[in-house]
Amino acid sequence: MGFYDRLVDGFARTLIGKWTFFHVFTPLDRRLMRWSNGTLSSALGTYLQGNVVLLRCTGAKSGKPRDIPLLAKPLDDGWVLVASAGGQEKSPAWYYNLRAHPHCSLLVPHRGEIACIAREAEGAERDHAWQAANTQYSGYTVYQQRTQRRIPVMILAPEKQT
């Protein structure tokens, strides 16, 4: 890990870093990724080696489409999303959206938009997915220490085309 990577990684784990990523990079990436069909994202995307995706899901209460840039860990034929919310006591809204409406899509850099079905990982599958996600970004461990809740792990599998 180079100097820039260590700098961004350390900053992302802090409370001010969490605020910056949620309030600056997320709105920027939401627009930039949709505009560029997933090929461009902020400095965060550069640091995370292209594993920032744009989740499009349906609002649990509103029923409206929601775009959320997230870090996704490719695993097997799908992706792992960690509902850490930076260690807040409540899971992020996208987690509740996927629980209410599991049909969603991911805008993946250099692959385009992929229709998916989401499910929450449990047991050994959760442990495996959690470990895989932590190999990509070890800050999840710090976030888990900040909260009493067990951070949910979601698996997004591509929908089978018929």
pLDDT of 41 above 80: no
In the three-class reduction of DSSP (H, G, I as helix; E, B as strand; rest coil), residue 72 is classed as coil
128 pLDDT exceeds 90? yes
3-state class percentages of the chain: helix first, strand second, coil last, to nearest 5: 45, 25, 30
Q: What is the mean predicted confidence (pLDDT) over 99-121?
A: 94
Identify the top-confidence range among 24-33, 47-56, 61-70. 61-70
pLDDT at position 111 over 70: yes
Average pLDDT over residues 99-123: 95
pLDDT at 47: 47
* pLDDT score, position 38: 65
Q: What strands, in cross-sheet order, belong to the sheet with 78-82?
A: 65-71, 52-58, 103-108, 112-120, 153-158, 78-82, 73-75
Task: State the pLDDT at residue 40.
Answer: 61
* pLDDT exceeds 60 at position 45: no
3-state SS assignment for residue 26:
helix
Identify the band that residue 136 occupies on the pLDDT scale cut at 50, 70 and 90: confident
The stretch 72-79 carries a mean pLDDT of 94
Which residues, at least 6 apart from 144, have a Cβ–Cβ distance to it below 8 Å?
84, 87, 150, 151
Q: Residue 58: in which H helix or E strand, if any?
A: strand 52-58
Q: Which CATH class is domain 3-158?
A: mainly beta
Cα–Cα distance, 110 to 104 (Å, whole number): 18
